[in-house]
Chain A
């Protein structure tokens, strides 16, 4: 069974703080996608990282793909209440492009 572990499972912090969410596996991925899901809605793609070591920025969100393409991180600077949601990572296996989903990190930003 292919696993993609996300940590932490739950994070509650004050507005203005920084945070990092991790996505780890023993499998190699051809790419890794990060999604955000709000209550009552489906996941929405934030970013796709493809190259080992790649860093992508989306305003206050920084995404990094590990050099070995087995892990990824999402760093949020100066979190805002609008960042609240469930963050999901999904890796496309290098062997067959099967998409493996992490269980998600539930993030709550308190005003």
Chain B
């Protein structure tokens, strides 16, 4: 069972470069999420999508854009990378159509370094 698949697993960028982080889930879940995890700060929500075609800002959306391509795929784009965006990025999915008590299923993360 693949669950939530994130690519790439590692990436090093130079300041100002752009890139897209890919995420796909095979559980037929409605909601998908992008988080960043920094030491001592827990998980912070960047964007989420309650259903195909809808996206909403989370706690730290500045510098990021997202696309819910279809029910399976949710991508995160950094248009002009900055060193402050160095982090581990996690994609998650949930059966719920909105914010709820439903558990979230996570990918293994993308470790991104911005030089």
A interface, CB within 8 angstroms of B: 4, 9, 30-31, 33, 40-45, 48, 50, 88, 90, 92, 96-99, 101-104
Cβ–Cβ < 8 Å partners of B42 in chain A: 4, 88, 101-104
Q: When the two chains form their complex, are residues A41 and B101 in contact, meaning their CB atoms are under 8 A apart?
A: no
- Cα of A103 to Cα of B42 in the assembled complex, Å: 4
Total residues of chain B contacting the partner, CB 8 A = 20
- Inter-chain residue pair count (beta carbon < 8 A): 51
Listed by A's residue number, 17 A-B pairs whose Cβ atoms lie within 8 Å are A4-B42, A9-B40, A31-B101, A33-B101, A33-B103, A41-B108, A41-B109, A42-B92, A42-B106, A43-B43, A44-B106, A88-B42, A96-B99, A98-B99, A101-B42, A101-B43, A103-B42
Nearest Cβ in chain A — how far from B76, in angstroms?
15
Nearest Cβ in chain A — how far from B23, in angstroms?
11
Task: Judge whether B114 is part of the interface by a CB distance below 8 angstroms.
Answer: no
Task: Judge whether B41 is part of the interface by a CB distance below 8 angstroms.
Answer: yes
